[in-house]
Amino acid sequence: MNRLPACAISAWSACFEGGASFGPDSAPPLRPASFRPPSNRAVELLQKALLPIQSTLCERLRRYEPSRVGVFLGSSTGGIERTERFYLDKNADGKIPETYSFEMSHSHYSLIEEMNQDLGVKGPSYVVSTACSSSAKAIAVGQRWLALGLIDAAIVGGADSRSELTRLGFSGLNLIDPIACRPFDAERRGLVLGEGAALLLLERSEDSGPSRVFLRAVGESNDAYDLTAPEPEGRGAELAMRRALEIGGLSPADIDYINAHGTATKQNDLAETKAIARVFPFVPSFSSTKSTTAHLLGTAGALEAVLCTQALTDQHAPPNRVPTTVDTSLACQPDTSPEPKPLRFVLSNSFAFGGSNASVLLGREPDPEAPNLPARRLYLTNASFSIGTPDKSESSILPSRLQGRSSPLIRTVAYLFQQLALAEDKDTPALILGSAFGELQTTLALLTQLKEQGTVSPIRFSSSVHNASIGLLTQLTGNRGYATALAAGASTVAMALAEAMVFLRCHGGSALVLCADEEGPTTLLSGDTFPACGVGFRIVASGDPPEGAWAELEELRPAAAAQSPQVPHELAQLTKPEEGPLQVAPAAFGLCLAHALLKGGSPAAESAIGPGHVLALKALA
């Protein structure tokens, strides 16, 4: 992984049950008239976190063009709490109340939509949804966009709310402790769920003024082991920490404190201490803050980055809860009463369902040797698409035991992957899933079960996270490299391509961009449904065009006016319902380009790739 320049953390804020943290120079929280009524609980929590630093944000953001400010948030559950309430209480006739909007109430992108409007920013924006690592990975996204000079500032963070579905799902997996969250305690029985939000403002170090804390790096990896259980030896966690040190230009001896993921589940705490002990010959002080904050799921990474920023500011590491009984099986023991000591660099871990890992590296010092990233050109070498849900024979990468119970989204993503993956790959490609609505069928089945039986299937629950399909692919292929899942409403294909382009320009290699959505839920949509749809692209970073390259990707830029997807005629015949206007999934914005490439045509100089985005291409002979 290439070293990246550090970012200054110019403002931060977090809210959670029983506490809050914000700074610097924050104002008393006052609800401004500019805030719209929140469309769901997660948005309400975001607004609550925004209030203490709104004046600071507005003052600093006035220096930048609105289109040069990015917003990258993480969320595991999005608006599920609002959909759950509607689903359990909807009218006896099954009609959808006017107060409920599937697109704005359920979608992860509702967080971004309302944040952009509340702050008046218009730059690149999307929600990372990789379960409990979501907001930590969103912080990494902000650093990469800043490192390439594509934006001047990034608002990063996350929000997640409680829901009965989530509580019963974790309970069914025997991961809830009914007494308390007791990280690294021999008597620990699991996590305690909470809700909250956290935000950080990132700027380039030279633009930030007298900043006291800097984001040095985020290391990311996959376990490639299981959808819910961590790899027992913590090898994925180890790789994430090592990559953070590599990207940040530091050594293990530089770290003064580790904020552990520390969920207080038997498997996680044991695997994490093994990983820490291997990375650090002399283990620094470490603790888990989840006994105080509870586990905020996808928001945990951003919340704990805020707490570490505060620790660096105050020069005092938070202690671990004193164990009732010391667990002698752990590879190392947490610090229950850390002495005040100078903190220069700290590491904060977040691990997740799907085997997704992220380690955030923060420090009191910017990088004295800020690197210059090498110029990289990006080439489109392959494409694929799917209309409707592929059958079992078309997604043969899935083992037979999974064929019958895989969701339509998993089958579509597996099909796209099969069309794009190359057996002769020398480097493991980055995997980027773009899905506006994620595992819809699985989520609706869980909500129906919750309504009718008051229970939630733990097997289905573990497959309901947004990144289930991409996590499964890493497991089936042994890919411990980079993998992520994101949502950006109708701009999902555009932002997934942008994520690939930014990652490859920072770190090189190749990427598979897999965008898909299941058939629109007739039980939640007020208009016509839309069919299942998927589109995939293979992108390679190279000095010269690789063999078989169709086009060079030059840039992704805002369109002059809003656009509708121009679905090719023969595809439109497949997607058009018998009556009413054509309703399309967000992935349809990529169909025209993929179809042209696969038919052997020369790509146009520009392709509409979202309602407000154009992909600039240079066709190759």
Q: How many helices (H) and strands (E) does the chain have?
A: 18, 19
Residue pair 491/615 in contact by the 8 Å Cβ criterion = no
Q: Is the pLDDT of residue 483 over 70?
A: yes
Q: Is the pLDDT of residue 211 over 70?
A: no
Q: Is the pLDDT of residue 26 over 70?
A: no
What are the pLDDT digits (tens) for 390-403? 887 788 888 887 77
In the chain, what are the domains?
7-363 (3.40.47.10), 377-619 (3.40.47)
pTM for this predicted structure: 0.95
Q: Let me know how long the chain is.
A: 621
Residue pair 319/338 in contact by the 8 Å Cβ criterion = yes
Report the C-alpha gap between 269 and 262 in whole angstroms. 6
Give strand pairing partners of 9.
Answer: 202
Could you tell me the two tokens for 288?
């888990």
What are the pLDDT digits (tens) for 41-92? 999 999 999 988 888 888 888 899 999 999 999 999 999 998 898 888 765 5
Residue pair 355/224 in contact by the 8 Å Cβ criterion = yes
> What local confidence, expressed as pLDDT, does residue 567 receive?
62
Lowest mean pLDDT segment, chosen from 116-130, 228-242, 476-490, 572-586: 572-586
> What local confidence, expressed as pLDDT, does residue 578 receive?
45
Going by C-beta distance under 8 Å and a sequence separation of 6 or more, which residues neighbour residue 427?
A: 509, 510
Q: Is the pLDDT of residue 357 over 80?
A: yes
Instruction: Determine whether 557 is exposed, middle or buried from the number of CB atoms within 10 Å of its CB (0-12, 13-18, 19+).
Output: middle
Q: Is the pLDDT of residue 523 over 90?
A: no
> What local confidence, expressed as pLDDT, does residue 423 receive?
61
Q: What angle do CA 536, 539, 542 make, to 5 degrees?
A: 170
Q: What is the DSSP letter of 518?
A: P
Report the C-alpha gap between 360 and 307 in whole angstroms. 12
CA–CA distances in Å: residue 420 to residues 14, 128, 413, 621? 41, 23, 11, 21
Lowest mean pLDDT segment, chosen from 83-97, 117-131, 293-307: 83-97
Instruction: Determine whether 2 is exposed, middle or buried from the number of CB atoms within 10 Å of its CB (0-12, 13-18, 19+).
Output: middle
Q: Which of 307, 340, 336 is nearest to 319 (CA)?
A: 336
Give the residue numbers annotated as catalytic, written as ranges.
132, 261, 295
Lowest mean pLDDT segment, chosen from 225-229, 297-301, 471-475, 588-592: 588-592
Q: What is the DSSP letter of 99?
A: T
Torsion sign (Cα): 260, 261, 267, 271: negative
Could you tell me the two tokens for 375?
């110029």
Could you tell me the two tokens for 393?
């024979």
What are the pLDDT digits (tens) for 457-475? 999 999 999 999 999 999 9
> What local confidence, expressed as pLDDT, does residue 323 receive?
86
Q: Which of 463, 500, 464 is nearest to 482 (CA)?
A: 500
Position of tokens 């799917």?
A: 386
Q: Is the pLDDT of residue 97 over 80?
A: no
Going by C-beta distance under 8 Å and a sequence separation of 6 or more, which residues neighbour residue 178?
A: 189
Residue pair 328/335 in contact by the 8 Å Cβ criterion = no
Q: What angle do CA 384, 390, 395 make, to 5 degrees?
A: 80
Report the C-alpha gap between 609 and 261 in whole angstroms. 37
